[in-house]
Structure formats: C-alpha cells, structure tokens
C-alpha cells in the first residue's frame, strides 16, 4: 500500500494574496463600523440636548415660567455631561427637581410644582445623559457655577437664561456640532462644519 506524501510546501502566493485581501477588507469594514457608531453617538448627543430644550420651552409656555434645566459636566476630569430638570428661584438660582425626588418638592409658594408633566421622568433616567466622551463648551451670556442654566419666558417663549452657542467636541477635541439658542425667539439652530466663536467656556461641573 502506497503512502501519500504530505505537501509541506505551505501556502502558495495566490493563497497568501487572498488571505491578505480578506484581512484588509475586514479591517476597512471594522473601521467603517466604528466610525458609524461614533457618528451615531455624536448625533444622539446633539438630539438629546435639542429634545430637552424643546420640551422645556413647550412646558414653560404651557405651565410655569420657573421651569429650567441645568447642563453640566460630571466632574473636572470627566467627559460625561448631563441635564437636570428643575426650577429657578427669584434670585435665579437653580434647584433640581423630579417627580420621584420627594426631598425637593418645589418652591415654597408651589410645593407641588414637581407634579407638573415636565418633571415626569417615567422611563427616562434622571438626570439625562447628554454625552459620555468629549467636551461641551458654551459661548453665551451666562454660565453658572454649576453649569449652564436654560430658562424660557412663559409669555412668548423667548430665552431668559442660556441664550448663545452650545458647542460639541469629540474625544479628540475635534469640533463636530453647535446648537445656537436664540434669545429673541427661543428657537435653536444646529450647525456642522466650521464655526466662528468669540469667547468660549467649558461647561462647568
């Protein structure tokens, strides 16, 4: 019985080229997928902010002018940014508030303020996470010690506090979007690409 000799010559040149081509294709697909995921996270950060300020404006005009939100950073080294829903007192100071808080039920003249629809966080985390990796900066009329306070006028929906540009940078400090909140109308305008800013401040923590 004849023994078949094993071919120990290894891969042929054609096989090697095919393997290299497959690895290259998989690498490109992985890179494209990662970029798509990152772009999706960027767009979600912008849309989360826009959703919150739209909700605040609508609720303010329908319910109570003291309603406000606070955009802030988790801590000095963190790239995570949040929004808290709350209200501003007569001095303009922000107080966080939610329907589940209990310990902070509202201003003295309306302790049941938390029962309004705006503070209903059913199915939503409180505070709301805006972005987890990157930097949010602000160019505008006011930056509080703890963050950017946004508040609207009940009568016409104009901005009482927080008008200006909210600027988004990715984890590599590359600009990717800005949301401009217009004082007179209370409406916002988003922009991508290049921007022009005068004085910019990182959102406080």
- Over its length of 205 residues, how does the chain's per-residue pLDDT go in tens digits? 444 544 545 567 877 888 888 888 877 777 776 766 666 778 889 999 999 999 999 989 988 888 899 999 888 777 789 998 888 888 888 887 754 444 455 666 666 676 677 776 655 666 889 998 888 988 887 666 788 999 999 999 999 999 999 999 988 888 889 999 999 999 999 887 665 555 566 666 5
Q: SS3 for 25?
A: helix
The encoded tokens of residue 84 equal 């808290």
Cis before residue 120, ω within 30 degrees of 0? no
Domain residue extents for the chain: 13-202
At the top level of CATH, which class does the domain 13-202 belong to?
Answer: alpha beta
Under DSSP, the state recorded for 198 is: S
Query: Can you spell out the DSSP letters for 104-125?
Result: ----TT-TTGGGSGGG--TTS-
The pTM assigned to this predicted structure is 0.74
């Amino acid at each position: 019985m004849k023994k078949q000799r094993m071919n120990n010559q290894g891969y042929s040149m054609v096989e090697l080229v095919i393997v290299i081509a497959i690895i290259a294709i998989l690498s490109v697909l992985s890179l494209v997928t990662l970029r798509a995921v990152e772009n999706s996270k960027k767009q979600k950060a912008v849309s989360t902010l826009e959703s919150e300020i739209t909700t605040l404006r609508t609720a303010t005009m329908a319910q109570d002018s003291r309603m406000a939100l606070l955009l802030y950073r988790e801590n000095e080294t963190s790239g995570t940014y949040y929004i808290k829903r709350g209200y501003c007192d007569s001095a303009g100071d922000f107080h966080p508030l939610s329907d589940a808080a209990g310990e902070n039920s509202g201003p003295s003249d309306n302790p049941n303020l938390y029962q309004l629809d705006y503070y209903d966080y059913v199915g939503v985390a409180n505070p709301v996470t805006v972005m987890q990796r990157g930097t949010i900066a602000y160019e505008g009329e006011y930056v509080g010690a703890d963050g950017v306070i946004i508040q609207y006028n009940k009568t016409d929906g104009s901005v009482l506090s927080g008008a200006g540009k909210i600027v988004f940078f990715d984890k590599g400090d590359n600009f990717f979007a800005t949301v401009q909140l217009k004082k007179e109308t209370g409406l916002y305008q988003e922009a991508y690409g290049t921007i022009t800013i005068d004085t910019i401040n990182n959102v406080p923590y």
